[in-house]
Amino acid sequence: MAKGFNSRNMRGMGGMGGGINMNMIRQAQKMQADMEKMQADLEQKTYSAKAGGGMVEAVVSGKKELTKITINPEVLDPEDPGMLEDLVLLAVNEALRLANEDAASSMNQITGGLNLGGLGL
């Protein structure tokens, strides 16, 4: 045993090492329940973005799945398929960015700004 270390020294350390802080456990359980509810709420949402002045619209779900693409026939140009491809990519990526931004904002409200990214949350 290390010099000066014994179980009596641990008792005065506010539950560190020897005891479990039940308040912290309750807070963690509440945070977990809040995150599960937030995830369920986010999965019900949809996010829409337009590109090319509204010529292409993409809609993604809160699960970050593309659910709808709307293409105005005026943008269909057989001479320039690359333009349509670019507009689709822009709209889809913007809709996904909106979904990610909303999820991050919701997570920040629950965690109070704690960075839990390393925990896979």
End-to-end CA distance of the chain: 38
Topology given in CATH for the domain delimited by 47-111: Ybab; Chain: A; (3.30.1310)
User: Where in the chain does DSSP place strands (E)?
Assistant: 46-51, 56-61, 66-71
Instruction: Find tokens 């990519």 and name the residue.
Output: 89
**Tens digit of pLDDT for each residue in 29-43?**
888 898 899 889 999
The reported pTM is 0.68
Walk across the sheet containing 66-71 and list its strands. Answer: 46-51, 56-61, 66-71
All structural domains of the chain with their residue ranges? 47-111
For residue 69, CA distances in Å to 1, 8, 60, 65, 81 come to 67, 67, 9, 12, 16
**Tens digit of pLDDT for each residue in 95-113?**
999 999 998 898 888 877 6
Q: Is the pLDDT of residue 21 over 50?
A: yes
CA-CA distance, 43 to 101, in Å (whole number)? 14
Instruction: Find tokens 């599960």 and name the residue.
Output: 36
In this structure, the dihedral spanned by the alpha carbons of residues 97, 100, 102 and 104, taken in order and rounded to 10 degrees, is: -130
**Tens digit of pLDDT for each residue in 46-67?**
999 999 999 999 999 999 999 9
